[in-house]
Amino acid sequence: NITDREAVLALPDVVIQVHGAVDGIINNAGIIQRFVKINDLEFKDMERVFNVNFWGAVNVTKAFLPHLLKRPEAHIVNTSSMGGFLPVPGQTAYGASKAAVKLFTEGLRSELLSTNVHVTVVFPGAIETNISANSGVTMTAEAPADAPKIKMTKPAVAAEIIVDGMKKNKYRVLVGSDAKTMDFLCRLMPD
């Protein structure tokens, strides 16, 4: 449970005892909110999303960073989201939490530039996972039969792209054609 700060802070010692060292972490946990506007979303639901998406990444990073700094070379990957640069109505708290991960990662990278620890921020688009069910969000509306199908990236393909980005010490990694397209369009037309 990455929201349990005390448990997370104890994790490095356990991992190092079993494996000897840690050379990298990938903060990939994430949940979405119910598909409702902020006015209809309870504070506890927003806090849950931030606790997992943002504070979870911060907790794991803070726990492992002292150990990573002792390694000859290390890597931190934080998964933001296409929602971190493209606001989606009904997912405002989710997008804000992922934008916070983006900015946290960018700041962390600048702080670690002169160290042995590399930092990557990942922006996945639609990945073929059970994020709705894993978030406790029930999808009630079904898409019309003639609605265009969204091309989703397979999790194994996303993982390969992320690991390849780590190997190449990439600063930003976009996963999926949707993320690449939306990144381009958001830069071209910020409004």
The helix, strand and coil proportions of the chain, stated in percent and rounded to the nearest 5, come to 50, 15, 35
Element (H, E) at 16: helix 5-19
Residue tagged active-site, from 54, 94, 104, 123: 94
- 3-state helix/strand/coil string of 41-96: CCHHHHHHHHHHHHHHHHHHHHHHHHHHCCCCCEEEEEECCHHHCCCCCCCHHHHH
Is 171 a residue of the active site? no
93 close to 50: Cβ distance less than 8 angstroms: yes
> Could you count the other beta carbons within 10 Å of the beta carbon of residue 38?
12
Exposed e or buried b for every residue in 20-31, given b needs 16+ CB within 10 A? Answer: eebebbbbbebb
90 close to 116: Cβ distance less than 8 angstroms: no
Residues designated as active site: 94
